[in-house]
Amino acid sequence: MSQTIKVLLVDDHPLVREGLVDLISQQADLQICGEAANEPQALELIRTVQPHVAIVDISLENGSGIELIKSIKAMFPAVTVLVLSMHDESLYAERALRAGARGYVMKREAAKKVIEAIHCVLAGQLYVSDKIAALMAEKFAKEVNFFSIGTNDLCQYTLAVDRTNEKVAGLFCPGHPIQQERLDAVHQSLRLALRRNQVVPPPRHQGRR
């Protein structure tokens, strides 16, 4: 993105916002366009300053970050949402993504992760930790109704996934070090689920990545 990226901060802790302002202001392509502590302030700022990305905490002043994310996606679908929170990602990351966020970063992560995540989600990709990717893959495998489609279709689907790793990887950040681990977790979960349902998956093609 050649233009300056406008970033809105939504966090009810002034010290956190101050630290983010210092961090983001060091980036030539990023600009803080506003700060909010609660949902009404955030929605009004989005309406007036039209940010490219909103960095939202889960806990807000008199409100919920999850509900704010839903409101942003309903009212301002062009705005990309990235969650930055102290709350355990294993409890909130999936909820945030289902609400419309494109990424989830823990506040304890290194500062460079925040910058990396901003660029990642603005590129249309997802940003979550390898732990969350593996948990979501496992949950997906458990929830899929394998008896709703034929055995051959399942095998062909798994084989197709094996042969399109690069396309699957495109959902995540280019060059991200945990990218292959995510894909492996998805494959392993799908294969375990197939076996539980007495479907023999086709052999993986190790040479095609």
More confident residue, 119 or 157: 119
User: Residue 45 pLDDT more than 90?
Assistant: yes
Rounded alpha-carbon distances, angstroms, from residue 136 to 93, 156, 172, 209: 10, 22, 14, 22
The distance between the two most distant Cα atoms of the chain, rounded to a whole number of Å, is: 56
Query: What digits encode the pLDDT tens for the residues 141-179?
Result: 565 554 444 444 444 444 444 444 444 444 555 444 444
- Per domain, the residue ranges of the chain are 5-128, 132-196
Decide if 126 contacts 102 (C-beta within 8 A): yes
Query: What digits encode the pLDDT tens for the residues 181-203?
Result: 555 655 565 555 555 544 444 44
Cα–Cα distance measured from residue 92 to residue 156, given in angstroms and rounded to the nearest whole number = 34
Query: Which tokens hold the place of 115?
Result: 């910058």
Closest CA to 13 of 98, 108, 85: 85
Query: Which tokens hold the place of 149?
Result: 């489609």
Cα–Cα distance measured from residue 131 to residue 9, given in angstroms and rounded to the nearest whole number = 26
Query: Which tokens hold the place of 132?
Result: 């969350």
Query: What digits encode the pLDDT tens for the residues 26-36?
Result: 999 999 999 99
Q: For the beta carbon of residue 108, count every other beta carbon within 10 angstroms.
A: 7
Decide if 139 contacts 97 (C-beta within 8 A): no
> Is this model's pTM higher than 0.85 or not?
no
Q: How many residues does the chain have?
A: 209
Query: What digits encode the pLDDT tens for the residues 65-103?
Result: 999 999 999 999 999 999 999 887 778 888 999 999 999
Cα–Cα distance measured from residue 8 to residue 34, given in angstroms and rounded to the nearest whole number = 5
Reported as type and span, the H/E element at residue 11 is none
Q: What is the CATH number of domain 5-128?
A: 3.40.50.2300
